[in-house]
Amino acid sequence: MFLGGNWKMNLTPKESELLAKEILDLFEESLKEREDIKVCVFPEFTALERVSKVLNTSDIYLGAQNVAYEDKGAFTGEVSPNSLIELGVEYVIIGHSERRHIFKEDNELLNKRLLKALDKNLKVVYCVGETLEERESGKTFEVIETQLKEGLKNANINKDNLIIAYEPVWAIGTGKAATPEMANEVHKFIKDFLGNDFLVIYGGSVKPNNAKSLIEQKFIDGFLVGGASLKAKDFFEIYNAMREK
């Protein structure tokens, strides 16, 4: 199982460092008991170095919220995979709904990012999900299949280097969440498409009060948590729900 905390653009480097320390204090002993649950936090790029120093010898992994598709060059505003690796990053998020819909990153661009990340031996959390309009039009599976086919094109993927995060766009930051049954149905579709060995995690307004009902579903292997990961105790409660599966 996998639990990711996506801090998005919410914390300064100092605030990120303090949150990382709080999370480490809460999680450290429990992680030694449950090596089957990997925990990773995804701070802003500017906070990676500070958070890396906090987590350096711990069992909590460090992730980045995006990655460039080239090692270096004239790509203003992008962040090289080499820089991320030097800071201790092991996981990268690619294709988050906010990157797709706010910054208009399409499947072709996301595929380039993913291929570069895998080439550099970074592990990828690749996000897929439909809008409310697409769901109401009955196009959920069609949209997700396209995102998988085009985003993973020509990639040498396996259960160790790729995690899929299902994020219904209409449930990101809205307070709404897919019912456990709705989420489970999509997770099964993704596993049928890729193979049961791949972890498929849910992202979309995951909170302590709905984590248990979601993780009880057969095909849900964990979470990519947004707002609730900014509070160490809430993040730990979600982890505890996973420990009961």
Phi, psi of 90 (to 5 degrees): -115, -25
**How far out from the chain centre does Cα 167 lie?**
9
Residue at token pair 């095909």: 219
CB 164 within 8 A of CB 126: yes
CB 83 within 8 A of CB 116: no
* Residues annotated catalytic, as ranges: 96, 167
How far is residue 227 from each of residues 3, 14, 172, 203, measured CA to CA in Å? 14, 18, 10, 11
Q: How many CB atoms lie within 10 A of CB 95?
A: 27
**How far out from the chain centre does Cα 49 lie?**
19
Residue 224, beta-bridge partner list: 4
Alpha-carbon torsion, ordered 78, 112, 81, 8, to 10 deg: 60
CB 221 within 8 A of CB 199: yes
Residue at token pair 């985003």: 151
